[in-house]
Amino acid sequence: MRILIADDDPLSLRLLERTLERVGYEVTAVKNGRRAAEEMCQPEGPRLALLDWVMPELDGPAVCRQIRKDRGGHHVHIILITSKDSKQDIVCGLESGADDYLVKPFDPEELKARLRTGQRILQLEDNLVEAREQMHYKATHDPLTSLLNRGMIVDLLVRELIRARREKTCTVVILGDVDHFKAVNDTYGHPVGDEVLRELSRRLLGSVRSYDFVGRYGGEEFLVVLNNCNPANAMSRAEQIRQAVGQTPVTTAKGPLPITMSLGVLASLGGEPKLVDEILSDVDHALYEAKGAGRNCCRQAGAPVLTR
C-alpha cells in the first residue's frame, strides 16, 4: 500500500522510510509540510500518511486541515508523530483532522500496529463505498440486461428534454419492441428468451453513441434516447438501430434464432411545452403502427413535437 511520510529531520525520515519499505509499503518521503499537502491532495495521492508535527512551511496539523479541505473522494488516514504529549496538544492534533497520533520516541511495532489499524479502516470505507455503488446500480439498472431500468431511463429522458428545451436542440425518442417474442418463450423456453434479450441489449448499446441512453422499458420493450440529434436524421438513426438488431441471428442454447424489432420514433424539439407522458404515448402509438405495418420496420409519430 502507498504511504506518505513527512519529516524535516533527514535521518529520521530515512530510518522511517526503510522500516516501512521492509514491511511492504510503497513510500513517498517528503521533508516539509507544503510538499506533504501537495502530494496528499492529488486525486490519486496516497491514502495513508505519517506526518511529523513540527515541519517547515506547514506543520502537521496545518497539513491535516489542508488535506481535509482539498482532498475529495476516498478517506485519507493520517497519523501525527509528535513529541507533544499533553491532552490539549493531542486534542488539537485530532481536531485538525488527524485520525491517530504517536508520541516520540515510538516503538516500531506500535507504529506497524497503528498502520494496520489505518488500513483496516480504509478497507472498511472501500467496502462501504462499493456496497453503496452496488445498491445504486441495482436501483437504476435492469438485472437481466444490465440496461437502465424503466424508472431511470424515463428520468434521464425528462432531464434530456429539459436540457433540449433550454438549448433549443432536438431529442429523438425511440421505442422498440421485439417481434414475436412470446413465440420465442413459448417455443424455446424463457432461458432462451433471456439470452435473446441480453444479446439485443448489447446490440442496441453498440448502435448508439456513448452519450445516448438505452433502457429496458418493460418486458421486450426498449427505450432509446438520442441526445442532440438532427430531427431530419431521426428515421435514418432508427433504421440503423433496427438493422443492428436484426441483421444476424441471435446465437442461443437452442441454436441461432432470427430476431427482429419494430420501432416507434419521435423527434422532440425544444420550445413550447409537451409533457413527457404525451411523448411516450405518441411514440408508443407509432410503435403499434409499425407492428400493424407488418413488423420489422420503423414508423414516426407525425411531425417533430415541442416539449416541456
pLDDT digits (tens, 9 = 90+) for 105-155: 888 899 999 999 999 999 999 999 999 999 999 999 999 999 999 999 999
Copy the grid coordinates of residue 185: 418463450
DSSP structure string for 169-194:
-EEEEEEEEETTHHHHHHHH-HHHHH
What are the chain's domains?
2-136 (3.40.50.2300), 150-307 (3.30.70.270)
Per-block average pLDDT, block size 10, for the chain (308 residues)? Answer: 92 91 93 93 92 92 92 88 82 90 88 93 93 95 97 95 90 97 97 98 97 97 96 95 96 97 91 77 96 96 57
User: Structure pTM?
Assistant: 0.74
Distances (CA, A) of 103 to 52, 82, 84, 93, 307: 10, 5, 7, 12, 66
pLDDT digits (tens, 9 = 90+) for 152-172: 999 999 999 999 988 889 999
Give every CB contact of residue 214 below 8 A, 6+ residues apart in sequence. 147, 148, 153, 201, 204, 205, 208, 222, 223, 224, 225
User: Tell me, what's the pLDDT at 275?
Assistant: 84
Residues classed as catalytic: 220
User: Tell me, what's the pLDDT at 307?
Assistant: 44
